[in-house]
Amino acid sequence: MSKKGNAAKLIVSMAVIIIISLIFALGLPVSKAFGVYDIVPIRDLFKYDVDIKGGTYSLLEVSSEVPEDTTKEELLSSSVNVFKDRITALGVYDPKVEVSEDDTVKISLPYFENIDDILDKLTKRCELTFEDSQGNVYLTGEHVESATYATYTDEYGVTQPAVKITFTEEGKKLFTDTTTSLINNYLYIKMDGEVIRSPFINATIDTGIAYISGVTDKQEAIELASLISSGSLSADFKVKETGKIEPTLGSNAQTAVELGGLGLFAGLAVVIVLFFGPAGISALFIMSVFILAVFVTLALMGIMINVFSIAGIILGLAVLAFGIISALKSVRREASIGKSAMSSIRSGIKKSRSSFWKISLGAAVILLTLFFVIPGKVKYILLSGAVGCGEALLVYYLFTMFYVKAVGSVFDGKGILPKEQA
């Protein structure tokens, strides 16, 4: 393609990046024109941890009788574990739950707009029972080994969200016996006495697995699965007191983090441009695409934003920058043996790909593996880092050749060819 054609490509590409960035930054009130949902600013889709946006603490007190077979101390201790499991399901990997001196349970949560709804779900008893039409209980939540989000295909071929329940060995036997005795009858699955699903049993189910369908969307299925997995509370709890937690990094932490990230991005781009000259401008385009892609992915995944997850994003950006630098160096080596600019770009990037995919994919796999092994806040950097490395690999393969070729054509190979050839 001609120099003008490549210049047009870069201009259009830059315009698209700027427009998409502005939409993500400011949002777009689409409903005013088309009557559909608005596109909200991407910062509003993120969940922010206490260090950046503060949060809320709540004191919960027991509001019902303590069961006769347990002490209040044992009740509070077991409830702490249930609360921690439920908070972890919200994407908070270091839940802070403790018993206070006045026999209340103090929980500290990051900033959530719907904090009242979250507290309501956290304090639900969640007593799961499997009953017949007469109210006879065949199984309870104690017979459930795990509950996870799943999907199934309905009679119209549409994929629908559901909750997959796996029973313990005892639960598997009981569920087999239950479905056998209730053939041609309904089984009522209840949560705190309310029917959440009533499947008709037409055959024995001996797999030890049951599905709860009929949920409205994926989020509801995930929340229901987390409530079932965490187990039931042995007593009722009510909110005694709530209060605000200030950001641990300061009141302007969110703005400071955003400006710091922008500065780091700009600094990295400047360094590459200074080292490779005009050819390094391609890095600015490639890294811009990466930033857009990784933040959209993190927002859709609901990953909590804190200093740890930001460190993971920086790790992904560093991996991509390493790939770009390696590619440009490889291109220069090809040009040094007398190849033309375009020929050097094609062969140089192809050669650099073989090592980059091993590094980026290997890093992503290692980080993701450690995510399932290591507990606590380090999970944030492991997960966001795995996402960042995966996005770096994707963006590198899709856009490096395109942008380096376009920039090389526009600037007549400067930064690629030896000075006497450029």
pLDDT of residue 34: 57
Q: Which residues of the chain have pLDDT under 70?
A: 1, 30-38, 415-422
Both tokens assigned to 139: 């199984």
**256 vs 250: CA distance, rounded Å:** 9
Domains, the chain, ordered by start: 3-40+250-410 (1.20.1640.10), 54-245 (3.30.1360.200)
DSSP three-state, residue 115? helix
**110 vs 48: CA distance, rounded Å:** 7
**CA R_g for the chain:** 27
**249 vs 264: CA distance, rounded Å:** 19
Helix locations, 124-277, DSSP H: 169-181, 218-230, 253-276
pLDDT of residue 30: 62
pLDDT of residue 58: 94
CB 133, CB 184: distance < 8 Å: no
Burial of 207 (0-12, 13-18, 19+ CB in 10 A): exposed
In terms of pTM, does the model score above 0.85? no
For residues 243-260, one letter each, b for 16 or more C-beta atoms within 10 angstroms of the residue's C-beta and e for the rest, the string is eebebebeeebbeebeee
Report the DSSP beta bridge partners of residue 109: 56
Q: Which residues lie below 8 Å from residue 98, measured CB to CB, with a gap of 6+?
A: 80, 105, 106
- Dump the DSSP string for 12-53: HHHHHHHHHHHHHHH-B-THHHHSS--B--GGGTSEE-HHHH
DSSP three-state, residue 185? strand
Phi then psi for residue 97, to 5 deg, are: -135, 130
- Dump the DSSP string for 345-366: HHHHHHHHHHHHHHHHHHHHHH
**354 vs 357: CA distance, rounded Å:** 6
**100 vs 365: CA distance, rounded Å:** 41
HSE-CB at 186 with a 13 A cutoff on CA atoms is: 11
pLDDT of residue 273: 83
Torsion, Cα of 81, 219, 130, 127 (10° steps)? 30
CB 298, CB 46: distance < 8 Å: yes
At which residue do the structure tokens 């087999």 appear? 176
CB 139, CB 178: distance < 8 Å: yes
- Dump the DSSP string for 265-298: HHHHHHHHHHHHGGGGHHHHHHHHHHHHHHHHHH
**339 vs 324: CA distance, rounded Å:** 20
Burial of 135 (0-12, 13-18, 19+ CB in 10 A): exposed
CB 186, CB 199: distance < 8 Å: yes
pLDDT of residue 363: 95
DSSP three-state, residue 133? coil
Both tokens assigned to 198: 């009533």
